[in-house]
Each structure stands twice: as C-alpha cells, then as structure tokens.
Structure 1
Amino acid sequence: MPRICLKTAITAPLHIVFDLSRSIDLHTISTEQTQEKAVSGKTSGLIGLNDTVTWRAKHLGFTQHLTSKITDYNRPSFFADEMIKGAFKKFRHEHHFETDGNQTLMTDIFEYESPWGILGKLADFIFLENYLRSFLAQRNKVIKEFAESGEWKNILK
C-alpha cells in the first residue's frame, strides 16, 4: 500500500494551521484545478470528528465522487479522514501538527490502496502516487499562503 509523507513548515500559530487544514472552504479554493466541490454532508465551515463530506471533482479526466469521514480528532495536534465511499479500495489521510519555534510543522501521511489488483499497483507505480503527492503539495501550498499572509481571517470567521 503506497504511503505518501509530506512535511510543510508554516510560519503561523498551530491553531490557525490546524483549522485551515480542516476548512471545507479552503479545501475548495486549494483544489480549483480539479473543480472540487463539497456536495453533501458538511459542505462549508470546519469539519470535525464524525463529520462526513462528499466531494465531486474531476481527476484524471473523470468526474468522481468521494465521501470521507473524520475518524480521529485531537485539536490542535491531529486529525484523520478516511474514505467511506469512492474510487479507492481504501485510504486514510492523517494530519499531524506540532510547534517548532515560531513555526508550525504540518505533516501529512496519506496511505491508500488502489482498486483493480495488479493493474492498480501498476497505476500507482506509473503515475498515481506522483499525482496524489502533487495534489497534496498544492493543497499544502495554499494552506501555507493563507496562514502566513493573514488571508486566513477571510476563511476562519
């Protein structure tokens, strides 16, 4: 099962980075390239323990629906979401936060299993793992920009 680990240092308080990371509204902004939109469950604001959200997005040329649920939550240091319905066989995305001096270190651990057996493993190797890594890195770039610029005030009202 592929495992993607990304670390992002953000010069902003821990609680702001944590809340931006669970903002449905900021997620929508950060995924403009895939036209991601929350279509059911929690569709705006901050997602929390046991909340679900169904996203509609265009990935790899196909419109897809993916429903995830917040299964673990410990504000402001950790939360995890897991797919309960969608294209993957399964996935779990852990979000870890810690203070490091005047910065917040945000660590994403994304583990997933593709469907289709050996064909899914081949897709992981050829393109899917890199595609997902880039997708998460873009999301983290937007979180960093909002947190460090003060634009977070427009999201976390």
Structure 2
Amino acid sequence: MMKRWIYASRNRGFTFIEIMLVVVIIGILMAVIVPRMSGRTRGAQASAAKMSIKGISTALGSFEVKAGRFPTSQEGLQALVTKPNGLNDDEWDGPYLSELPKDPWKEEFIYKSPGERNKDFDLVSKGPNKTEGDDDDIGNYSKDAPAAGDAGN
C-alpha cells in the first residue's frame, strides 16, 4: 500500500494554485528589482555622458592649442573630425576625434562657442528626455553657475 502512495505522488504534477503562487512571487520580485535596476542605468548613462563631455573637451583643448582658437559654433564638433575651411595645415593637427560623438541617448552633443555659461564653449547633452534646456541636461558647467555674461553682475 505504501509503495502505491509514493508512486502516485511522484506522478502528480503541480496544481494550478501552486503555479499561480510562483507567478505571483516572481511578479512581486520583478516589481521590486526592475525599478532599482533602471535607476542605476540612468545613473550610468549620466556618468557616461559626463565622461564623453570630458573627452570631447580635451579634444577641443588640443584643437585650441594648435589653431589658437576653439571651433566656432558654425564649425561645430565636426571641426574635430575634419579640417575646417579657413585653417591651414599648420593650424590643424587633426583629426582630434575619429567620429562625431553621440551621447548615451544617441543624440548629438550641443556645442556653442563662445558659450552662454562658459567663456570659451558650452558642451551639452540633452539628457534622457532628449530636450534642450531642461533640468536633466548634462554639460561642462555647474548647474548653479551663472551664465558667462552674468559673472560680473
């Protein structure tokens, strides 16, 4: 009699209630874990944008040392990849970058020279919402710093 009961319990599958309980537990775990992981992803993307801005700023500094000026807003960051018109070979030692960089959200960086917040240039990522001028923008300036023209006021 005992052997029959052991044999029968081994062939018995999971009940619907047991399966639903496992699904609910997995759902609860996902509800807790996924938001925490997405927050870390945003932080990592912001850090990557800051690192890209530092790298591009270094390339802009190299351009400035050789050319005696930063690229104009019209020339943009393209001046770091291909020689701008008006510069002779002695004034350009590039390419300073192998390609035009994009931020972690696959958007182009915004470059302005002279800058609105910095005397030499502003370099900005539009951030996660991909809209310029919002609080999530990431740039080569302190968010609390006054605009370049307001520094003396």
The bucket for the TM-score relative to the shorter chain is under 0.3
Task: Give the TM-score, by structure 1 length.
Answer: 0.24
Structure with the larger helix share: 2
What TM-score results when the alignment is normalised by the length of structure 2? Answer: 0.24
Higher-RCO chain (CA-CA 8 Å, sequence separation at least 6): 1
Whichever structure has more strand as a proportion of its residues is: 1
Larger radius of gyration, structure 1 or 2?
2
